[in-house]
Chains A and B, each alone.
Chain A
Amino acid sequence: MSATGFGPQSAPQSTSPAKLVVDGVSKWFRTPRADVQALDNINLRVEDGEFICLVGPSGCGKTTLLDIIAGLTPADQGRVLDDDKPVDGPGRHRLVMFQEPALFPWLDVFGNVMFGLKRTPGLTDKQRREIADQHLQLVGLEKFKHAFVHELSGGMKQRIALARALAPDPHVLLMDEPFAALDAITREQLYGDLQEIWRSRKKTIILVTHDVREAACLGDRVFLLSPSPGRIREEFKIPLARPRDINSPELAAIVQRMTLALRNHLGPRKEAAE
């Protein structure tokens, strides 16, 4: 499938059915000023219930890749399969937690969590309300049901965004640097919460980040990306037990290996570009 010879592409894959397959995806952006290749032949197989992290520096195509998986942007080459069906547009089976806060200011917290639910068929109105309440509880913000978006702190906003994305019960949750804008203390709390929610809800999660520590703390598998064009360079399995503590020494050892590897992948390319 791939001639590049990097880890994930050439590694033998398990035969169990994958939840989500990214198959040879490439993407170019053509602007009047320049042609940018954002992604080059990305291949991924994500099992049901797996937590995958993609790490790379800013500009390596992380957001673009999530957009393509979400169906918000079409790939120029390759395809994405969700449960063996090609993705040809956005849908509530793959919900996104965006990099910037994307809560709607004209709705209160409850209205925001209800937004996706109201557009989910096969539920009664009562069920929708119950599900929304449950998810507010899940992220610990049931007391803020009727608060407005601007009254929430950054961490609370991201919790609500998480509740909003989880409530319609998507197959896959796509998270685009969801904690990048938060302070370290809030972030560490959310790492704990997210692991707990992932464990209890058995969701498939793909999270992208530029923070190697964060990726090692959260992912079952971590993929390293390098920019211009965005490529997957290496795969790391993280064998640590959960819940994981971001400050544990075992994690630090893995982080160190990954950081070195990432530096190796970035170094030569930079020189080549100069």
Chain B
Amino acid sequence: MKRTLVGVAFFAALLLIWQAATASGRWSPVLLPSPWLVAEYLWDALRDGSLLEATAVTMKRLLVGYFIGVAIGLPLGLITSTSRYFEDTIGALALGLQTLPSVCWVPLALLWFGQTEMAMLFVVVMGTVWSVVIATSAGARNIPPIYARAARTMGSEGFDKWTRVILPAALPYVVSGMKQGWAFAWRSLMAAEIFVTILTGFGLGQVLQYGRELSSMDQVIGVMLVIVLIGLIADKVLFSPWERFLHRRWGTGFK
């Protein structure tokens, strides 16, 4: 309760400072619209449905691409962990491609797939997959060998061993890899949406870019706020439960 109050007070103070800055008249309202103008834009865009629609388009791209990325990355990471040769090949490839900022996939995706949903999907998958591969493989290699030995004596072999012992034992690594993959995917999707217009759906990045073209700062800031909000909600919904699970079971973290 106290924490909620502190949080509310903090953001109220930020809004007040913002409001005071616009009211001072030192900056042109074209460059720095007041919180009310931004709120008004958000309200209108919500009511005419354009904002929700853009959010839906973006979230669909992100979620589908992300889950494909994780579905590829987990098994690939596990395979990578099984031998030094995979480590030197797939592992090295993953490491290289992960250091490549995922925006850099956009030009290639456009040439390969044209201005299509496929291109967007590809960028998101590439943003996700390498982080997941690296984290999963590192996690699987760092499991205390005693877990695998105990599991073997109790009759856990093959697929059962991978899904019921190695993957759960590697979970602390896997979750942080998935979180990083999500962050990369989210950033690269925004870049891609700002960069290219795709006629089958206008995402948040495109709405942001229109705001710039129309010089309507209230739209730019409004959409930015929405993007921040989505990031926060995703963190709470997708990752907080996992992190709580890890803290409770592994006994890590403070408190």
A binding-site residues for B, Cβ under 8 Å: 70-72, 90-92, 94-96, 98, 100, 102, 104-108, 115-116, 119-120, 148-151, 164, 168
Contact = CB atoms under 8 A, between A and B. Distances in A.
Contacts of B250: 105-106, 150
A173 B152 CA distance: 15
A148 B153 contact: no
A168 B154 contact: yes
B154 A102 contact: no
Interface in B226-241: none
Nearest to B164: A115
B17 to A, nearest CB: 44
Contacts of A91: 153, 155
10 contacts: A92-B154, A92-B155, A98-B149, A102-B147, A105-B251, A106-B169, A115-B154, A115-B156, A120-B155, A151-B251
Given A116-B154, A119-B154, A104 B169 contact: yes
Nearest to B248: A148
Contacts of B146: 98, 100, 102
B71 interface: no
In which size bucket is the chain B interface? 20 to 34
Contact of B168 (A96, A104, A149, A164): A104
A90 B151 CA distance: 10
B169 A119 contact: no
B246 to A, nearest CB: 9
Interface of B: 144, 146-147, 149-156, 160, 165, 168-169, 171, 248-251
A234 B17 CA distance: 84
A150 B155 contact: no
Identify which of A71, A90, A106, A120 gathers the most chain B CB atoms within 10 Å of its CB.
Answer: A106
Interface secondary structure of B, over-half rule: helix
A105 B198 CA distance: 47
B36 to A, nearest CB: 50
Contacts, number: 68
A151 B247 CA distance: 12
Nearest to B155: A119
Given A106-B169, A106-B171, A116-B155, A148 B249 contact: yes
Contacts of A148: 248-249, 251
Nearest to B168: A106
B152 A90 contact: yes
B190 to A, nearest CB: 34
A148 B246 CA distance: 11
Given A90-B152, A96-B150, A96-B153, A150 B251 contact: yes
A102 B146 CA distance: 6
A70 B153 CA distance: 7
Contacts of B165: 104
Given A98-B146, A100-B146, A72 B169 contact: no
B153 A149 contact: no
Contacts of A96: 149-150, 153
A108 B249 CA distance: 8
A231 B149 CA distance: 25
A21 B152 CA distance: 22
A108 B165 CA distance: 14
Contacts of A108: 249
Nearest to A150: B251
Across the A-B interface, the 4 shortest Cβ-Cβ residue pairs = A150-B251, A119-B155, A116-B154, A106-B168
A95 B147 contact: no
Contacts of B249: 105-108, 148-150
A105 B155 CA distance: 19
A184 B243 CA distance: 37
Contacts of A95: 153-154
Contact of B149 (A102, A119, A120): A102
